[in-house]
Amino acid sequence: MSAMPPGTEDRRLAAIMFTDTVGFTGLGQRNEGLMMELLNEQRRLVRPFFEKNRGREVKTTGDGFLVEFSSALDAVRCALDIQGALKEENSKRTEEKSIIVRIGIHLGDVIHTGDDVAGDAVNVASRVEPIAPPGGICVTSQVYASVVNKVECQFESLGTPALKNVATPVEVYGIVGYGAQMTRPPPARGLPKDRVAVLPFVNISPDPADEYFADGITEEMISSLSRTKGLRVIARASVIKYRATAKSVSDIGRELNVGSVLEGSVRKAGDTIRITAQLVETSNEETVWSQDYDRKIEDVFAIQIEVAQRVTVAYTQQKLVVRPPAQVASTRIT
């Protein structure tokens, strides 16, 4: 990964890693000589793994590093190498002379100016690193999605913590087995509960030609909910791209900045049709309520309007407040 000539600027997608050495500030106040000795040893032990995993050391950050990788997989493998090597090394040392590191990784757009990098991705990575426990590794959802099936380790979601100067909520994952037991950091301010997205309803009828009915239900839901006072509904053009998507509800919520999504399915058999709708909170992917509607097919448009109106009433009755999972309502209306 070559550096840009001085005075030029370049944007690209990169995985950014921040490392930080635990306890060095306090150690420096107690024993400055030992601190400098351990700092030099830490750099000697850690630096070879950057080159091994095709990383570029951008700069040191006091007792840590800012490193750039062209792929999230390389960054995660490097982090695993570092923590594995330090764990083995520390097994031979006293507690006072142990070198314990935190690592945070984010994947996003960065700006290159000469040898340095900047941008939102760098800021996010720097805020994720302190969340990692001593000896641990934390990554954002963007990194997790890129590597989850490519590395032999398990991930644990830590939710969407409040990250300083990061406006959009970011889900953070810890890599299990590295560092002390992880605890969930304080959550970020929730997504706006007065914004909802109606995802394209899914046609699960045997006949693919019934797709038109599912599209009609989606249109009516958007139209009906849009007339609800105090509720802001995402336009159809913005949600149609999520038809048959593999993205999670939490990812969709962050991308559209909505507190909840309405999703459902349509199934037709003979002269009967069943419409299932459910409201899902995007911050925790919990179902607030779900309903099944069974109808005879006599007037397609009347069915669509009626079901959309019932969903609007049900949604309004929730008052945009998420209830605990034990209170989730599931009913069938005929």
Reported as a single tens digit per residue, the pLDDT across 137-168 is 999 999 999 998 899 899 988 888 878 777 77
Question: CA nearest 158: which of 167, 145, 171, 149?
Answer: 171
Mean pLDDT of 291-305: 76
CATH class of 9-175: alpha beta
Task: Identify which has the larger pLDDT, 45 or 285.
Answer: 45
Residues 268-288 pLDDT 10s: 888 888 888 888 888 777 777
User: Nearest-5° angle of CA 79, CA 99, CA 116?
Assistant: 50
Average pLDDT, the chain: 83
Task: Read off the tokens for 6.
Answer: 């001085």
Residues 93-125 pLDDT 10s: 998 899 999 999 999 999 988 889 998 889 999
Task: Identify which has the larger pLDDT, 38 or 311.
Answer: 38
Cα R_g (the chain), whole angstroms: 25
Give me the CATH topology for the region 195-333: Rossmann fold (3.40.50)
Provide the CA 214 distance to its chain's centre, in angstroms: 29
Q: Are 24 and 63 within 8 A, CB to CB?
A: yes
pLDDT above 60 (res 322): no
The Cβ of residue 231 has, within 10 Å, a number of other Cβ atoms equal to 16
Whether the model pTM is above 0.85:
no
pLDDT above 70 (res 5): no
DSSP, collapsed to helix, strand or coil, labels residue 147 as helix
Domain boundaries, the chain: 9-175, 195-333
CA distance 291 to 119: 45
